[in-house]
Chain A
Amino acid sequence: MSAADSPIAAGRGLCSCHVCQLVSRSTGTSRAQHCPRCGARLHLRRPGSVQRCWALVIASYILYVPANMLVMMETGSLINYRKDTIVSGVVHLWRTGSWMIAVIVFVASVAIPLLKLFSLTLLLISVQRKSTWHPQQRTRLFRLVEAVGRWSMLDIYVVTLLAALVQLGSLAIVKAGPAAIAFGAVVVLTMLATMEFDPRLIWDPLQKEEFHD
């Protein structure tokens, strides 16, 4: 598709509101402009999208280390006592025959966070290099990251419920470990990073003009 038959809003001096989708004319001045309908700040592109997204992704990578090295959950009863990290918890579930649960927890706590971090890194690098490589596939990847991101919270909820319930009895204890804090932070930071990323940047290199805001 040539640039001629794919008009870009920003190329025509038009700006689409990120809240209510109303298309309004961009004045082009440096003064902050607000959407005439909903009052949200208007930007041709999310300001500082790439930098903020990088910052959040790098912070997530750093926190991902303690999230996996530290103890997520301590379980103890009269007969055995164990400290589990995320991965050893999954392995324990698999060994004790709860395959279904092991797979669910593996996908939510291991696969999805890694998928999110690697995908965002790939998207950020490709956008910074002004790549024109398969923009549709990259947009799809972004949509996938956006859709599955929330499911990583699963382990946090499981730990919360188990720790509260088993605390009440005296025979067994379940305690949330410090990894829960790091892991919760990873989930929140990667979700924020996904929100910061502006998918329109993937398509901009196809155009001749450059858009800043």
Chain B
Amino acid sequence: MTDRTPQLIACHECDLLQRDIQLNPGCYASCRRCGAVLYRNATDSVDRTLAYTLAACMVFLGANLFPIFAIEVQGGRSAITLFGAVLSLWEQGMRSVSTLVLITAILIPALELASLTYLLLPLKLGKVPPRYPLFMRTLQCIEPWGMVEVLMLGVLVSLVKLTNNFRVIPGMALWSFAVLTLLLAAAATAFNARDVWAQLDGKRRDLESK
């Protein structure tokens, strides 16, 4: 973290103007009127977020390529992947619901991981990714719609419901989703948008002055 001149910050929840102060690593600043978290000083924010993101990318592939679980019916075995479930719902005529699941459980997490990698990997290598404000905005805009942790709970609930009637065999993707949930939560905690903005702006200014 470079030393910054103290600047003003307005609380996003109550609009109180406050002065931005340097924080010790691991601390956070909260609004003195409404208590909202204004910003944090996450330790090694870029490094950690990038590490979690890259790991999450690999696990994400596993979570989508392998079956979540299989059931044994009449000696045969039927397994589903997440995308298979989305397709099957589409064929049953529930198109809106199927699209909703596709977006919140597959597309948004994929876009989130791709944007994070696109922003942080060049930053780590000392470069500035082109059009980075667009990606920072996308990231902020899609954040509430990625619901991998809710899907994970959904998988567990279905698992329990199924075990009442069937023999259920957990698949690779089940474990992948569990790990993915943890990695995404870790990446979200480590990510510090304020810091990334400051670093990207600083790098761009350096490059422009050269």
Chain A residues engaging chain B, CB cutoff 8 angstroms: 1, 6-10, 12, 14, 16, 18-23, 37-40, 77, 93, 96, 98, 100-101, 104-105, 108, 135-136, 139-140, 142-143, 149-151, 153-172, 175-176, 180-181, 184-185, 188, 191, 195, 199-200, 202-204
Contacts and interface: CB of A to CB of B under 8 A. Distances in A.
A48 B11 CA distance: 20
Given A6-B33, A93-B161, A202-B14, 14 more contacts: A16-B9, A18-B12, A39-B133, A40-B137, A136-B33, A150-B147, A154-B157, A158-B161, A160-B97, A161-B80, A168-B80, A169-B73, A169-B78, A181-B97
A157 B14 contact: no
A135 B84 contact: no
Interface string B93-126: 0101110110011000000000000000000000
Given A96-B164, A104-B153, A164-B89, A203 B33 contact: yes
B14 A172 contact: no
Interface stretch (B40-48, B52-60, B178-186, B193-201): B193-201
B73 A162 contact: no
B188 interface: no
B24 interface: no
A181 B98 CA distance: 9
Interface string B123-148: 00000000001001100110011010
A14 B161 contact: no
A195 B144 contact: yes
- Of A139, A161, A166, chain B has the most CB atoms within 10 Å of the CB of A161
B154 to A, nearest CB: 3
Interface in B143-170: 144-145, 147, 150-151, 153-155, 157-158, 160-162, 164-165
Interface string B76-90: 101010001111110
A175 B157 contact: no
Nearest to A23: B8
**Interchain residue pairs A-B with the least CB separation, the first 10:** A157-B154, A169-B73, A168-B78, A9-B10, A16-B10, A164-B85, A164-B88, A203-B14, A38-B133, A161-B158
Contacts of B39: 21
A98 B158 CA distance: 12
Contact of B16 (A7, A156, A172): A7
B61 interface: no
Contact of A162 (B74, B104, B105, B158): B158
Contacts of A77: 165
- Of B94, B96, B105, B137, chain A has the most CB atoms within 10 Å of the CB of B94
B190 interface: no
A200 B16 CA distance: 9
Contact of B74 (A14, A136, A170): A170
Nearest to B71: A165
A159 B97 CA distance: 10
B150 A154 contact: yes
B68 interface: yes
Given A157-B150, A168-B73, A184 B97 contact: yes
B7 interface: yes
Contacts of B150: 150-151, 153-154, 157
A19 B136 contact: yes
A165 B67 CA distance: 11
Contacts of B66: none
